[in-house]
């Protein structure tokens, strides 16, 4: 009986695994691969141009933060690229020696971290209850939470200010934190509930059969699996709280003002004094940038949480 021997594969090529009985895959020619690579060229160029235009104001602010007031007023910031002698660290020395800016940075941190932690923890607990704990009125109550997403922040300023005045916490950091937590919870519950509802029910039943209660399931099963969504929510909440101006401007006393309010007041006092405003603004961008870079690997996955459930 004659046997047929397949010709050997050319050197330098790796054969892809093929299912038994499947027809052979046609090999793509070099011209087809070049056409496919060049067809994406306009898209890449458009994305690069968009990114450059998006980052251009930030680049200008960054360069202006290293220039003196005279240079910023006389010539554009782009001239510093060809004349690096314009750049100096004196602006940052002046800002870091200003107690008002330094204290406002600490106040912003004291507001943002508790507001973010409380929103993530409380939102996760509520989302777990809406996803896996049956109780009367669960679905109508969840619809109410979703409806709160469309409530503008501005409509609550006056009522909450009166409530804080009656409680005696108007102007305190606690009032600013509670306001951010209240308006961050609807998005947290909505986002995390969709993610938690996609956890396989068999996994939850197996944990219950092993004797785990809701608390243990929440801590040992749901929280580790939901970490991408939690990280995405933490980024959103932290950035929103850190960059907020309106809430801090209304509810914070001069001694508790965040950095956004401190920069805004510098604008009112000194006009276009970029040697103070630019370095202070750049310092206020450092912490959110670090937070985003630390959790960026989970950001997209958390954004798409529950979309394919």
The residue-averaged pLDDT of 43-50 equals 84
pLDDT digits (tens, 9 = 90+) for 210-224: 888 888 888 888 888
- The alpha carbon of 234 is separated from its chain's Cα centroid by a whole number of angstroms, namely 7
Written as six digits, the tokens of 298 are: 């989970």
The residue-averaged pLDDT of 299-307 equals 58
Q: Is the model's pLDDT at 11 over the cut of 50?
A: no
Higher pLDDT, 107 or 81: 107
DSSP string, the chain: ---PPPPPPPTT--PPP--TTPPPPPPPPHHHHHHHHHHTHHHHHHHHHHHHHHHHHHHHHHHHTTS-HHHHHHS-TTHHHH-GGG--SHHHHHHHT-HHHHHHHHHHHHHHHHHHHHHHHHHHHHHHHHHH---TTHHHHHHHHHHGGGS-GGGGHHHHHHHHHHHT-TBSHHHHHHHHHHHHHHHHHHHHHHHHHTS-HHHHHHHHHTT--HHHHIIIIIHHHTHHHHHHHHHHHHHHHHT--HHHHHHB-GGG--HHHHHHHHHHHHSS-HHHHHHHHHHHHHHHHHHHHHHHHHHHHHHTTTTT-
pLDDT digits (tens, 9 = 90+) for 122-153: 999 999 999 888 888 888 999 999 898 888 88
pLDDT digits (tens, 9 = 90+) for 260-283: 998 888 775 555 677 788 888 888
93-303 folds as: MetI-like fold (1.10.3720)
Alpha-carbon span 283 to 97, nearest angstrom: 13
Domain parsing of the chain, residue ranges:
39-88, 93-303
Q: Residue 73 in contact with residue 98, Cβ under 8 Å?
A: no
Dihedral class, residue 12 (left if φ above 0, else alpha if ψ from -120 to 50, else beta): left
pLDDT of the residue at 238: 92
Q: Is the model's pLDDT at 256 over the cut of 80?
A: yes
pLDDT of the residue at 32: 62
The residue-averaged pLDDT of 40-47 equals 78
Alpha-carbon span 112 to 141, nearest angstrom: 28
Written as six digits, the tokens of 194 are: 């969709």
- % of residues, the chain, pLDDT over 70: 81
The pLDDT confidence band at residue 176, using thresholds 50, 70 and 90, is: very high
Report the mean per-residue pLDDT for the chain. 81
Q: Is the model's pLDDT at 10 over the cut of 60?
A: no
The residue-averaged pLDDT of 41-50 equals 82
Q: Residue 173 in contact with residue 164, Cβ under 8 Å?
A: no
Alpha-carbon span 299 to 230, nearest angstrom: 9
The residue-averaged pLDDT of 160-173 equals 90
Q: Is the model's pLDDT at 12 over the cut of 50?
A: no
Higher pLDDT, 301 or 227: 227
Q: Is the model's pLDDT at 52 over the cut of 80?
A: yes
The pLDDT confidence band at residue 303, using thresholds 50, 70 and 90, is: low
Most confident of the following: 32-36, 51-55, 107-111, 150-154: 107-111
pLDDT of the residue at 258: 92
Alpha-carbon span 86 to 130, nearest angstrom: 58
Q: Is the model's pLDDT at 14 over the cut of 50?
A: no
The residue-averaged pLDDT of 145-170 equals 89
Q: Is the model's pLDDT at 16 over the cut of 90?
A: no
Buried b (16+ CB within 10 A) or exposed e, 237-270: bbbbbbebeebbebbbeeebbbbbbbbbebeeee
Q: Is the model's pLDDT at 104 over the cut of 50?
A: yes
Longest Cα separation, the chain: 99
The residue-averaged pLDDT of 111-118 equals 94
Please tell me the pTM assigned to this model. 0.77
Q: Is the model's pLDDT at 289 over the cut of 70?
A: yes
Alpha-carbon span 132 to 221, nearest angstrom: 12
The pLDDT confidence band at residue 29, using thresholds 50, 70 and 90, is: low
The residue-averaged pLDDT of 89-112 equals 89
């Amino acid at each position: 009986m004659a046997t047929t021997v397949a010709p050997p594969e050319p050197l330098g090529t790796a054969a892809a695994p093929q299912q038994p009985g499947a027809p052979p895959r046609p090999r793509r020619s070099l011209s087809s691969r070049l056409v496919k690579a060049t067809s994406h060229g306009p898209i890449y160029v458009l994305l690069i141009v968009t990114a450059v235009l998006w980052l251009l104001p930030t680049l200008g602010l960054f360069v202006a933060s290293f220039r003196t007031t005279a240079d910023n007023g006389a010539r554009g910031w782009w001239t510093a690229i060809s004349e690096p002698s314009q750049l100096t660290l004196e602006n940052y020395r002046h800002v870091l020696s200003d107690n008002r800016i330094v204290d406002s940075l600490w106040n912003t941190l004291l507001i943002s971290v508790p507001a973010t932690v409380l929103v993530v923890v409380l939102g996760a607990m509520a989302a777990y209850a809406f996803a896996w704990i049956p109780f009367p009125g669960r679905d109508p109550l969840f619809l109410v939470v979703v409806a709160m997403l469309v409530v503008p922040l501005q409509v609550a300023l006056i009522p909450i200010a009166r409530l804080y005045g009656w409680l005696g916490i108007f102007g305190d950091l606690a009032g600013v934190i509670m306001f951010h937590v209240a308006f961050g919870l609807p998005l947290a519950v909505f986002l995390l509930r969709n993610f938690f509802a996609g956890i396989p029910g068999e996994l939850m039943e197996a944990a219950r059969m092993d004797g785990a209660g809701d608390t243990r399931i929440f801590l040992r099963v749901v929280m580790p699996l939901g970490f991408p969504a939690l990280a995405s929510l933490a980024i959103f909440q932290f950035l929103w709280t850190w960059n907020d101006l309106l809430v801090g401007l209304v509810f914070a006393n001069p001694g508790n003002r965040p950095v956004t309010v401190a920069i805004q007041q510098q604008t009112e006092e000194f006009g276009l004094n970029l040697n103070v405003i630019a370095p202070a603004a750049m310092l206020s961008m450092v912490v959110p940038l670090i937070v985003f870079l630390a959790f960026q690997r989970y950001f997209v996955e958390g954004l798409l949480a529950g979309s394919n459930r």
